[in-house]
Amino acid sequence: MGTTAVVNPKNAYREHSIDPFSWTVIALIAGLVGALYAQIIPDLASDWWNDSASSYGMLVPPIALYIAYLRRGITLAIPVQSDARGLWLISLACVVFLSGKLAGEFFLARVSIVLLLAGLAWTFWGFARFKTLFFPFVLLGTMVPLPAIVYNAVAAPLQLLASSVATDLAQMLGVSIYRDGNVIHLANTSLGVAEACSGLQSLPAMVVASLLLGFLEDASVIGRILLFMLSIPLAIAVNVLRVTGTALLADYRLEFALGFYHMFSGWLVFVLGFGTLWLIGKVLFRWTRAKT
C-alpha cells in the first residue's frame, strides 16, 4: 500500500528561501544596476508621464511583474542552476547600453535594461527558470517608446494614408471633399490630419494588448504571431475610421466635430480597436488550435 507525502507550506517556503549571503549579492547587483540607469529610468518615466503616445508604458512593468508573480510556482519549482551562457546576454546588454550612450540614442540605452535583467536571470537562475519568465521580459521590452528616427520616418506616410483613405470614404458617402497632402478640405472648413490621428499613438498599446491576449488565452505560437501582425493594420484602420467620422460630422455640423467629440472619439476608437482585436484573437486562436 503506497503512501502519500504531505508537503508543509512552511517547509516549501523554507526550501526557496534566500540565505543572507545571497541577499547581499542581490543588493549589490541591484545597487550597481540602479547606479548604471540612474538617469535613464527617470527620463523614461518622464516620457511616460508627459507624452500621451508613450503613456501606456506606465502599465507595462506592473503587468509584467504581476504575470511573473502568477507564474512563481512554475518558476520556483525548477531548481536553481547557474548558467554561464547568460553572460553572453549580459555582454550584449552592455554593448547595447554603451552604443546608446555614445550615439545619444535613448531607445538603445533604455532597452538594454531589459536585456540586462534577462541576462542576470539566465546567469544566476539557469535557462530553465529563465524560460518561464520569457514572456514578462518580452512584455517589458514594449515599455520603451519607438526610436525617434523610426517614429519620424513612419509618421508622415501614415498621416497621408489616413487622410487619403478618409477622403475616399467620405467621397463615397456623398461628401464634397478633397485632399491636399494631409489636409482635408470641406465646403465649410479644412481639417489637418495630425500625427495623433495617423495610428502611431494607439499602435504600441494595440501591440501590447495583442501580446497580453495571446498569453491570457494560452494561444499557440502561430496564433500569437498572427494577432501581433494584425494589431498593426488594425491600429491604423481604427484611426482612419476616426478621421472619416470627423470629416462627416464637420460637413454636417462643424461644432459637432470639434471640442468634446474630438477628445471622445479618440477613446471611442481605442475601445473599438481593443474589442475588434479581442474578436479577431478569439477566431484566430480557435483556428490555429484546430490546425495543430
* Distance of alpha carbon 168 from alpha carbon 109, whole angstroms: 42
Verify that 184 and 234 share a domain, yes or no.
yes
Residues sharing a CB contact under 8 Å with residue 233, sequence separation 6 or more, in sequence order: none
Q: Are residues 140 and 213 in the same domain?
A: no
- What mean pLDDT comes out for the span 87-106? 91
Per-residue pLDDT for 220 more than 60?
A: yes
> Is 3 a member of any domain?
no
User: Is position 81 within any domain?
Assistant: yes
The number of domains in the chain is 2
User: CB–CB of 277/227 below 8 Å?
Assistant: yes
Query: Which of 106, 125, 144 is where one domain is finished?
Result: 144
CB 217 within 8 A of CB 287: no
Mapping DSSP onto H, E and C, the string for the chain reads: CCCCCCCCHHHHHHHCCCCHHHHHHHHHHHHHHHHHCCCHHHHHHHHHHHCHHHHHHHCHHHHHHHHHHHCHHHHHCCCCCCCCCHHHHHHHHHHHHHHHHHHCCHHHHHHHHHHHHHHHHHHHHCHHHHHHCHHHHHHHHCCCCCCHHHHHHHHHHHHHHHHHHHHHHHHHCCCCCEEECCEEECCCCEEECCHHHCCCCHHHHHHHHHHHHHHHCCCCHHHHHHHHHHHHHHHHHHHHHHHHHHHHHHHHCHHHHCCHHHHHHHHHHHHHHHHHHHHHHHHHHHHHHHHC
The pLDDT value recorded for residue 15 is 47
Percent pLDDT > 70 in the chain is 83
The pLDDT tens digits for 237-266 are 888 888 887 777 777 666 655 665 666 666
One domain, residues 40 and 140:
yes
Q: How confident is the model at residue 4 (pLDDT cuts 50, 70, 90)?
A: very low
Domain stops at, among 144, 178, 210: 144
Question: pLDDT at position 151, please?
Answer: 76
In a domain, 11, yes or no: no
What is the chain's mean pLDDT, rounded? 81
Asked whether residue 78 falls in the same domain as residue 140, the answer is: yes
* Domain match, 214 and 263 both: yes
One domain, residues 117 and 23: yes
Instruction: Tell whether 282 is covered by a domain.
Output: yes
The more confidently predicted of residues 105 and 72 is 72
Rounded Cα–Cα distance for residues 261 and 254 (Å) = 11
- pLDDT at residue 1 is higher than 50: no
Pair 41, 113: CB distance under 8 Å? yes
Domain boundary among 114, 144, 174: 144
Q: Which domain, by its residues, includes 163?
A: 149-291
Note whether 117 and 195 are same-domain residues: no
Tell me, yes or no, whether 157 and 270 share the same domain.
yes
- Comparing 160 with 274, the larger pLDDT belongs to 274
Which of 173 and 74 is assigned the larger pLDDT? 74
Residues 160 and 285 in one domain: yes
Average pLDDT score over residue span 162-167 = 82
Same-domain check for residues 54 and 140:
yes
Instruction: Indicate whether 183 and 201 sit together in one domain.
Output: yes
Q: Does the residue 14 lie in any domain?
A: no
pLDDT value at position 2? 44
Q: Is residue 280 part of a domain?
A: yes
Range with the lowest mean pLDDT among 51-60, 178-187, 207-216, 262-271?
Answer: 262-271
Q: 17 pLDDT band (50/70/90 cuts)?
A: low
> Do 33 and 93 reside in the same domain of the chain?
yes
* Contact present, 137 and 63 (Cβ < 8 Å): no
Asked if residue 1 belongs to a domain, the reply is no
pLDDT on residue 291: 64
In a domain, 8, yes or no: no
